[in-house]
Amino acid sequence: MRISILLTPIVAAGLGTACASTPTPYQPASGKAGYGFSETALENNRLRLTFSGNSQTDLETVKKYVLFRAAETTLQRGYDFFIIVDRGVDTATEYRASGPMRPRFGGQLEQSGAEYEVIADVTMFRGLKPSLVLNAYDAHQIKAYLEPVIVRPTVS
């Protein structure tokens, strides 16, 4: 887990204006911040998927986008179901100072935002999903179930 502490209100105020005001949409990661999804091929039927969200994107949304990307990629590559192994969540949290930084004068640190990144390894297969494998997902069903709640970037 990465934690950065901002010790002056001036620095915190300056960074506050640079923060995103809307959650990260479902999109390929690009730009300096790299918010969105990315993937790395590990084998013919195996990928490492990542979704990074800005400080306005909650952890549940980041997890949902990784799952949706796994389903979407599975279908695009001609497979039917996938097994996902969650490799974890990386969290970056920023704190800002409120008042003087000495407790006896009433100063304290307040969390100003958290960014989440979920990384998962996905192995894709053809055929029917095995019912006894708990981390196996039917790509057609996952895509159909999550499609209505996926927020894509607005076109300007």
- The total of other beta-carbon atoms located within 10 Å of residue 70's CB is 26
Residue 53 confidence (pLDDT): 92
In terms of residues, how long is the chain?
156
Query: Which token pair is 72?
Result: 């979407």
d(CA 6, CA 11): 7
User: pLDDT of 16-49, one tens digit each?
Assistant: 434 458 999 999 998 777 899 999 999 999 999 9
Query: Considering the entire predicted model, what is its pTM?
Result: 0.73
User: pLDDT of 91-127, one tens digit each?
Assistant: 565 545 555 555 555 555 554 568 889 999 999 999 9
Question: Of all helices (H) and strands (E), which one includes residue 124?
Answer: strand 108-125
Across all residues in the chain, what is the average pLDDT? 80
Q: Which residues pair with 22 in a beta bridge?
A: none
